[in-house]
Amino acid sequence: MTLSARMRTLLAASPLVVCLGVLGCDGDGDGDDHDDHAHDTGESHGDTHGETHGETHGESDCASEDRDDEFMVGLSKSGEKASVTFVSADPAPPALDDNTWVVSVTDLGGAPLNVGITATPMMPDHGHGTPVEAVVTPSATTPGEYEISPVNLFMAGLWEVTLDLDLGGETDSVVFAFCVE
């Protein structure tokens, strides 16, 4: 028996190879739908948000970025003790350079919290932040509401903005992620 003949015999005898061959021939046939659907369920949430955004149709990096939050008034992140919710953003959605955000901070039950906030923008893919310090100003009229400005996102790409909360003896933090271009 020649070497190649032995290889063919081994390949033909292997269920794995036969199975791969069948799948390969089947390609995108309907037979696989059950498994694929189960795998995709987790990701479809993000896609749904993306579609409501509507305007990103091009080939830009942000269009293919899936680690970012889709901005909307009411976008909210919860830590272990507090929730932070967007009241407004200028510009909206957040964009390159200086941004002014107004957020509402509550406990997990929705009651306004009096907190200290430190905003720290970082670009996770580049490992740098911004030298521009955001100033946090409590609203004079609305408990739990704070203006954060400037949130300086000076480079195109994905930014993660961590809001560290000083709850008076306790701390918490939330992260908002936006891709700007």
Binding site for Cu ion (CB under 5 A): 123, 126, 155
Task: Report in angstroms how near the CB of residue 88 gets to Cu ion at its nearest.
Answer: 26
Q: For the chain, what is the radius of gyration of the CA atoms?
A: 25
Task: Report in angstroms how near the CB of residue 11 gets to Cu ion at its nearest.
Answer: 49
The whole-angstrom distance between residue 157's C-alpha and the CA centroid of its chain comes to: 12
- Give the DSSP per-residue string, 51-105: HHH----SS-HHHH--SS----TT-EEE-SSEEEEEEEEESSS--SEEEEEEEEE
What residue number has its CB nearest to Cu ion?
126
Report the residue number, 46 or 129, with the smaller CB distance to Cu ion: 129
Report the residue number, 145 or 160, with the smaller CB distance to Cu ion: 160
Distance of alpha carbon 153 from alpha carbon 99, whole angstroms? 8
Report the residue number, 82 or 153, with the smaller CB distance to Cu ion: 153
Task: Report in angstroms how near the CB of residue 173 gets to Cu ion at its nearest.
Answer: 21
